[in-house]
Amino acid sequence: MRRHVRALIMIAVMLAAALLVLGVQQISLGDFERGGTDTILGLSLGLDLQGGSHLVYQAALTDPVTGEPIPVSSDQMQALKKIIERRVNSSGLGEPIIQLLGEDRILIQLPGVGDPGRAKEFIGETARLEFKHRMFNVPRDLTEITGAEIVSVTAGFLPHETEDESPEPAVAPEGSGEAVLEGAEAAEGTETAAAPELSEAEGESTAVAAAPQMQPDGPPLLIVEFTDDGAGKFAEVLDRLNESLGMLTSSGGLIPPSHLDVSIDGAESLRFQVNALSMQRIAESTRFAISLPPDNVFSTAPNAAAAQTLLGDSPEIFFVEIQGKVDEDIGLTGDDLSNAYAGQHSASGAPIVNLEFNSEGTRTFGELTEVIVAKTQRTGERDQIAIFLDDEELIAPVVETVITAGSAFIQGRDFTVQRVSDLALLLESGRLPVPIELIQERTVDAILGADSLSKSAVAGIIGVALVLLFMILYYRASGIVASLALLIYGMLLLAIFKILPVTLTLSGVAAAILSIGMAVDANILIFERMKEELRAGRTLLSAVNIGFNRAWPAIRDSNVSTLITCAILYYFSSRLGTTAVQGFAFTLAVGVLLSMFSAITLSRTFLRVLAATKLGRRLGLFVPIGGADLPQLKQSPRAPALERS
Amino acid sequence: MDFVSKRHLFFLLSLAVLLPGVVFLIYAPGLKPGIDFTGGSTISLEFADPIEQSDLRFGLADLGQADATVQRLSGASFFIRTRELDEVSKQALVDGLKSTLSPNGVQVLSFDLISPVVARETVYYAVWMVLAAAVLIFFFIWWAFRNLPSPFRYGAAAIIALIHDTGIVIGIFAILGVVMDMEVNNMFLFALLTIIGYSVNDTIVVFDRIRENVLMYPNRTLATNVNVSISESLGRSMNTSLTLLITVMALFLFGGSTIRPFLLVLIIGIVAGTYSSIAIASQIVVAWEYRDIPRLYRRLRPARSLGAE
């Protein structure tokens, strides 16, 4: 009996653990995270049950000369995966699962995507690598909006309380480095420093819009009225300037915003620089308000009229747009690169990315570095080589020396081994872009998925309930034991699904139900054997023990054969990339293993415990309907149970 | 009950069930392969406006998809099979149907695309999967019954029973393919593999009884031992298939329509598997022992030589 108590406690602990696992929606113990907030019991659901897209792409690399298909290397596949991850992540399409299948395929699972068309559009794009000459603060004459396009220039004042605080964010590129090509990386601190400055300034510009007109005692501003044509052109300039402000934030403050160089030539002359935040179109008019920097000649004027006097009758105004950065196309692309790989700096051991160009690329790249270095020596400006993949900037290193040998390396202060290898992979994928072809898609609408899930769940519950009913009606007390064991089995199975985790798909649900069938079968095998032993005149306890021993080889061998089938299914489907079959096989295997365990522990323990109670002497309860003609009952229904020797 | 003496009856019955399937498989178009095996696209659409199947057919023909097949799922939901559709042509199809048939909207419930490359591989792997499973199970049974005389026969008999069960399922689907336009897809494939697992599972339970009885009563004839074993395990066989059928039937009736063909395979397969364990696998072991086939051959040969004279 002590042994039974121990076994019962063990079962209770397992059940409690299973219920705990299922009861807590989201489990997170350090790195171990399971479950989610939005699914039944926190189980992970496959795309066919929660909706989403399952996409399989095949690399279709062809020889550029012959057009023959050529095999892809595993590095290329890794690079492809990286590229797709980048694209999918930057598009905010939820949390995709991207994995390589076999040698030349890639599987992308996008859960719950409403519009798979958009996702497919950018996943299927072929990678494009470009090197561009990045220059900062490049002036651009705006001769088209001077003279004839300007109707009038007048002085104005802002309300006093919104004091001008020089909104011009003076953030210069921070390029510095000791190496050949240095990664001008976004320092994280700079971004946070730049952002508040922007939001403060924005509030100010609203004030300009609210009360742009003459109010004494405020900081002065200029009101420039254009012709219709001129106003349109100036608005375009303003748009460009505004856009560049966004870049300031996205580049982490490394790219200076474009600004406008304004010269006024009137009774007094003034030259100053303003950015987009200090300019505002007045309502829908052709007039623009331009804030003046503090402490200029006009700020001494006590009122608008005085300022106007300083401006003179017909002041002339000139604009020069200073572009924050210009990425000049120099015709250097991935085609000119012959190799890109991660390595270590020979002297310092720091992780670097090596670049090697072909002859054409060597020439173009050499010329570019010559131009850049010459400019640095002349003006102190440190131009960069901006490297773009799919129009998105990968990195923009500065140039340290003229490089004419065709091989260069990029290093950066914050470079890690991981980062350089990622970078090398991305460069490599742009060098030899691997076109991909969609070869398989399965998209299921979330509503259909939810419908399948609820229907399967209802059907499963009905099915299991009917089976339990049958077991209880047919096997009576044993059936109740089996039902209890099966319910616990179900809980354990779900808990295991959640912990491993097993992604439940429609086919997985079918497999789970099949494995419940297998678990029932194990119980039936045992009960039928028990029935025979009881008929042979044994006590319940010995019938249980012998019944189990006799039934065990059949349970073991039949389940092993099922496991063999599962293993084969799993092996082949993993090569084929059919996750549905794989999920089915895996779920079935887990279910079968657990059913063997539950047959030997749960049912057997419960029956043994029952055998030790008074109920255990009422043998009629333990045999199926119509099987009550037991010899023991005929002799003496209350005969003391003989313990097995 | 005497099962063993009726073994030739069982064999004939199985042949009678298998034969129409084989005929349909060979002479009719037989199994209709779905896009999983041929490549192509399927799309399930739910229309906001009530439309008829014929409207949809015409609508598809207008959009250049005259060879598309249409099945009604329920109400205004339809399942359409077409040639391989890329994203652009899929969108064109949906938009086209929306403008001509259902201005109030069309919902894409599911979309599948299988390229011919994948389809070919699926067929290739399917064949290998079935063969590999059969071979491994054969060796496993041979090994598991190594204590019996001629354990090889048990493995072979189990495999023949397995072929019998899959044959019945495939045959019935070949008939359904002709009668109801039912297609077979990946779901069918792994339902078949499930049946292979179940068939062997069930056979092993009966064989286990035979193993026990043969070892316990080595002096009885094999026919007696097999017969006793079948009788003894009959209750279990019936109840196991019954409980499995209950769950599968529940899924079939109340579950989603997507896995219904899968469940149909299971239902047919469970019945066939239970039957074949008793009436085929065990009987083959007996027939092998009593050299039924050479006897049949000897009986037929004089008849033929008579006919030649």
Q: How far is B23 from chain A (nearest CA, A)?
A: 29
Using a CB–CB cutoff of 8 Å, tell me whether B107 touches chain A: yes
Task: Give which of B215, B239, B265, B274 to mutate to test A binding, by max A Cβ within 10 Å.
Answer: B239
Using a CB–CB cutoff of 8 Å, tell me whether B146 touches chain A: no
Ranges in chain B, pLDDT < 70:
302-309
CATH fold of B40-114 reads Alpha-Beta Plaits (3.30.70)
Report pLDDT for A113. 65
pLDDT digits (tens, 9 = 90+) for A324-367: 888 888 888 888 888 888 888 888 888 888 888 888 889 888 88
Neighbours of A63 (CB within 10 A): 9
* Mode of pairing for the β-strands spanning A407-411 and A181-183: parallel
Q: Is the dihedral of CA B184, B187, B191, B192 positive or negative?
A: positive
Report pLDDT for A192. 33
Contact A562 B240 (CB under 8 A): no
pTM recorded for the entire structure = 0.70
* Mode of pairing for the β-strands spanning A105-111 and A52-59: antiparallel
Strand partners, A260: A274, A321
pLDDT digits (tens, 9 = 90+) for A408-417: 888 888 888 8
Asked if pLDDT for residue A209 goes beyond 70, the answer is no
Mean pLDDT of A621-642: 56
Q: How far is A467 from chain B (nearest CA, A)?
A: 6
Exposed / middle / buried, residue B224 (Cβ in 10 Å: 0-12, 13-18, 19+):
middle
B182 DSSP assignment: -
Tokens 């002359």 sit on residue: A269
Query: What per-residue string of b and e applies to A164-173 under the rule 16 or more CB within 10 Å gives b?
Result: beebbbebeb
Query: CA A430 to CA A128: how far, in whole Å?
Result: 5
Phi, psi of A197 (to 5 degrees): -60, -40
As given in the structure block, the two tokens for residue B277 are: 């364990």
Report pLDDT for A251. 66
pLDDT digits (tens, 9 = 90+) for A215-234: 445 566 788 888 888 888 88
Give the nearest partner residue to A439 out of B118, B128, B242, using CB atoms. Answer: B118
Q: How confident is the model at residue A206 (pLDDT cuts 50, 70, 90)?
A: very low
Same fold, B4-34+117-298 and B40-114: no
Using a CB–CB cutoff of 8 Å, tell me whether B231 touches chain A: no
Query: CA A509 to CA A515: how far, in whole Å?
Result: 10
Give the nearest partner residue to A439 out of B117, B208, B239, using CB atoms. Answer: B117
Report pLDDT for A1. 61
Give domain limits for chain B: 4-34+117-298, 40-114
Nearest to A409 by CA among A419, A418, A422, A399: A399
Q: How confident is the model at residue A637 (pLDDT cuts 50, 70, 90)?
A: very low
Q: How far is B295 from chain A (nearest CA, A)?
A: 33
The alpha carbon torsion through A40, A42, A43, A45 (nearest 10 deg) reads: 70
Q: Which residue of chain A has the CA closest to B87?
A: A117
Q: How confident is the model at residue A392 (pLDDT cuts 50, 70, 90)?
A: confident
Give the nearest partner residue to B110 out of A56, A445, A525, using CB atoms. Answer: A445
* Mode of pairing for the β-strands spanning B183-184 and B32-33: parallel
pLDDT digits (tens, 9 = 90+) for A515-535: 888 888 888 888 888 888 888
Using a CB–CB cutoff of 8 Å, tell me whether B165 touches chain A: no
Q: How many CB pairs under 8 A join A and B?
A: 210
* Residues of each domain in chain A carrying CATH 1.20.1640.10: 445-627
Contact B121 A576 (CB under 8 A): yes
pLDDT digits (tens, 9 = 90+) for A123-135: 877 778 888 888 8
Q: How many residues does chain A have?
A: 645
Query: CA B97 to CA A118: how far, in whole Å?
Result: 21
pLDDT digits (tens, 9 = 90+) for A138-158: 888 877 777 777 777 777 765
* Cβ–Cβ under 8 Å, residues A83 and A433: no
Amino acid at A350: A
Q: Which residue of chain B has the CA closest to A550?
A: B212
Partners of B108 on chain A (C-beta within 8 Å) are 443, 445
Which residues, at least 6 apart from B27, have a Cβ–Cβ distance to it below 8 Å? Answer: none
**SS3 state at A325:** strand
CATH class of A329-431: alpha beta
Q: Is the dihedral of CA A587, A593, A598, A604 positive or negative?
A: positive
pLDDT digits (tens, 9 = 90+) for A309-327: 777 777 788 888 888 888 8
Q: How far is A110 from chain B (nearest CA, A)?
A: 14
Query: CA A541 to CA B93: how far, in whole Å?
Result: 69
**SS3 state at A309:** helix
Query: CA A437 to CA A123: how far, in whole Å?
Result: 10
DSSP string covering A540-564, please?
HHHHHHHHHHHHHHHHHHHHHHHHH
Report pLDDT for A191. 34
Asked if pLDDT for residue A478 goes beyond 50, the answer is yes
Report pLDDT for B206. 92
Tokens 């069938």 sit on residue: A517
Report pLDDT for A616. 73
As given in the structure block, the two tokens for residue A602 are: 């749960």
Using a CB–CB cutoff of 8 Å, tell me whether B243 touches chain A: yes
Give the nearest partner residue to B250 out of A462, A566, A575, using CB atoms. Answer: A462
CATH number of B4-34+117-298: 1.20.1640.10
* Cβ–Cβ under 8 Å, residues B113 and B85: yes
Tokens 């105004």 sit on residue: A317
Q: Which residue of chain A has the CA closest to B131?
A: A568
Q: Which of residues 73-92 of B touch A (CB under 8 A)?
A: 86-87, 90-91
Partners of B201 on chain A (C-beta within 8 Å) are 518, 521, 558-559, 561-562
Neighbours of B212 (CB within 10 A): 18
Which has the minimum average pLDDT: A127-131, A254-258, A455-459, B280-284? A254-258
Q: How far is B303 from chain A (nearest CA, A)?
A: 43
Mean pLDDT of A434-440: 84
Contact B200 A506 (CB under 8 A): no
Which residue spans within A5-46 are E strands per DSSP? 27-29, 32-34
Distances (CA, A) of B94 to B40, B56, B67, B87: 16, 11, 16, 11
- CATH architecture, domain A445-627: Up-down Bundle (1.20)
Distances (CA, A) of B200 to A28, A351, A553, B205: 42, 58, 14, 9
Q: How far is A546 from chain B (nearest CA, A)?
A: 14
ipTM of the complex: 0.83
Using a CB–CB cutoff of 8 Å, tell me whether B262 touches chain A: yes
* Residues of each domain in chain A carrying CATH 3.30.1360.200: 329-431
B278 DSSP assignment: I
Query: CA A563 to CA A566: how far, in whole Å?
Result: 5
Report pLDDT for B309. 40
DSSP string covering A474-514, please?
HHTHHHHHHHHHHHHHHHHHHHHHHHTTPPB-HHHHHHHHH
Asked if pLDDT for residue A617 goes beyond 60, the answer is yes
Mean pLDDT of A183-201: 33
**SS3 state at A252:** coil
> Please, what is the Cα angle at B293 between B287 and B295, to 5 degrees?
100
A411 DSSP assignment: E
Using a CB–CB cutoff of 8 Å, tell me whether B236 touches chain A: yes
Report pLDDT for A158. 56
> Please, what is the Cα angle at A351 between A346 and A354, to 5 degrees?
75
Contact B251 A510 (CB under 8 A): yes
Query: CA B37 to CA B177: how far, in whole Å?
Result: 15
Phi, psi of B130 (to 5 degrees): -65, -45
Query: CA A103 to CA A568: how far, in whole Å?
Result: 20
Break chain B down into helix, strand, coil percent, rounded to 5: 75, 10, 15
Cis peptide before B20 (omega within 30 of 0): no
Report pLDDT for A443. 86
Contact A463 B109 (CB under 8 A): no
As given in the structure block, the two tokens for residue A315 are: 């002041």
CA atoms within 13 A on the CB side of A357: 22
Contact B262 A507 (CB under 8 A): yes
Distances (CA, A) of A450 to A49, A235, A456, B252, B256: 6, 51, 10, 18, 10
Q: How confident is the model at residue A458 (pLDDT cuts 50, 70, 90)?
A: confident
Give the nearest partner residue to B112 out of A442, A520, A560, using CB atoms. Answer: A442
Using a CB–CB cutoff of 8 Å, tell me whether B215 touches chain A: no
Contact A510 B253 (CB under 8 A): no
Contact A56 B107 (CB under 8 A): no
Report pLDDT for B32. 82
CATH fold of A52-125+436-443 reads Alpha-Beta Plaits (3.30.70)
Contact A568 B132 (CB under 8 A): yes
Give the nearest partner residue to B87 out of A117, A520, A562, using CB atoms. Answer: A117
pLDDT digits (tens, 9 = 90+) for A500-510: 878 888 778 77
Using a CB–CB cutoff of 8 Å, tell me whether B187 touches chain A: yes
The alpha carbon torsion through B288, B6, B240, B128 (nearest 10 deg) reads: 40
Using a CB–CB cutoff of 8 Å, tell me whether B255 touches chain A: yes
Contact A517 B244 (CB under 8 A): yes
Q: Which residue of chain A has the CA closest to B197?
A: A562
Report pLDDT for A189. 35
Report pLDDT for A138. 83
As given in the structure block, the two tokens for residue B252 are: 């079939």
* Cβ–Cβ under 8 Å, residues A529 and A551: yes
Contact B110 A557 (CB under 8 A): no
Asked if pLDDT for residue A571 goes beyond 70, the answer is yes
Nearest to A183 by CA among A355, A1, A371, A435: A355
pLDDT digits (tens, 9 = 90+) for A47-81: 888 888 888 888 888 777 777 888 888 878 888 88
Q: Which residue of chain A has the CA closest to B89?
A: A117
Exposed / middle / buried, residue A460 (Cβ in 10 Å: 0-12, 13-18, 19+):
buried
Share of chain A above pLDDT 90, in %: 2
Helix (H) or strand (E) holding A129: strand A129-141
- Rounded to a whole number, what is the distance in angstroms from the first to the last CA of chain A? 16
pLDDT digits (tens, 9 = 90+) for B21-48: 888 888 877 788 888 888 889 898 888 8
- The mean pLDDT of chain A is 77
Q: How far is A574 from chain B (nearest CA, A)?
A: 11
As given in the structure block, the two tokens for residue A342 are: 């991660």
Share of chain A above pLDDT 70, in %: 81
Strand partners, A62: A69
- Rounded to a whole number, what is the distance in angstroms from the first to the last CA of chain B? 44
